[in-house]
Structure formats: structure tokens, C-alpha cells
Amino acid sequence: MPGSQKRRARFASRALLTLLGVFAVGACNGKHDAQAVATKPGAPVASAAAKSRAKPVLTHRATKAPLEQFVQQHVEEADANGTRVLVYVGATWCEPCQRFHKALESGQLDEDLAGTKFIEFDSDRDGAELRAAGYASKYIPLFSVPDQSGHASGRAIEGSVKGDGAVRANLVPRLLALLDGKPT
């Protein structure tokens, strides 16, 4: 092989290796780059898959907006960004509710309930409004799927066991079934 052909072959090999290296580095950093782009002002909205992996959130009504209107706003936001919403009714004295809060805050439910927003209401304080919107139950905690108008859809789970198994063994499987539209 003449010298000029060898030089061209080496150049082509180096160019190919350089391109492969750039591609490999880009592939390794793809997740980071996508997150950085999504956080820039005016950047495209992150995909529904990325949002569905978001840490579960517990939110409260800070204003005196009507309950249905507050829930409806969160349902619309969830529809727009590919997340899920559950109305959660508990009480400060409820042991399974306390355990649920602790598990949610400590990150124990991040993987199982990723992409879920829990709109929290207090059974004692908000009872009349909850009943008027269809969120009545015999037992707490109550987890209910809201409809588009902010009212209860009829798909719900209520009550839980006490003790260590309250969240992981009792609530989580039932919540996953509820979120997946399966019988609970």
C-alpha cells in the first residue's frame, strides 16, 4: 500500500474513532443534558416519562378556594404534564395516616408512587366540604381518584391496618391497583 493511501486510512480510522468517542460521551451524558435543557427558560417541556418518575408530592389547600375548584385545578395540571392525582383524606390522630406521611416524607414511596400528587385534606376540618364533593367515607385514610370537575369519581380505597405493615403491605398495593384502574 503506497504511503498516501496509508495516511488516508490512518486519518479515516482516527476520524472514525473520534466520532465514536464523541458519540459515547454524549450517550453517557444524555440524561444529564436532557435535564439541563429542560430546566432552561423557554426549553421544551420534559417528557411524560420523565415527569412520571418525579417524586410523589403531598400538597395542601393554602387558600379558601372551593374544594372542587382546588382539586379540578390539580387534575388539569396533572393531565397536562402526565402525572397522577389522588385526593387523600386523613387526620392527625390516624395512625395509618401518620405512617403514610412518614413513609412519603422519608422517600420510601418514591419509586412505587412516582409521578403522583396527593391532595391532602383533613377529615375533621374539611368533612362537610368533602362530603359535598363526594369524598365521604366510613374510614380513613381515604384515597380517591377525582373526576375532571374535582368531585369524587367513585374509584377509591379507604381504611388501613395499624402497625408496621400499614404502608408497605397494606396501602401501597391498594394504591397501585387504584392508580392502575384495577379493582381495589
C-alpha cell, 136:
365521604
C-alpha cell, 145:
381518584
pLDDT digits (tens, 9 = 90+) for 67-97: 999 999 999 999 999 999 999 999 999 999 9
Sheet containing 57-60, strands listed edge to edge, beginning at the edge strand earlier in sequence: 57-60, 116-122, 84-90, 142-146, 152-158
Residue 30: C-alpha distances to residues 24, 37, 53, 115 (Å) = 10, 10, 17, 21
Please tell me the pTM assigned to this model: 0.72
pLDDT digits (tens, 9 = 90+) for 92-139: 999 999 999 999 999 999 999 999 999 999 999 999 999 999 999 999
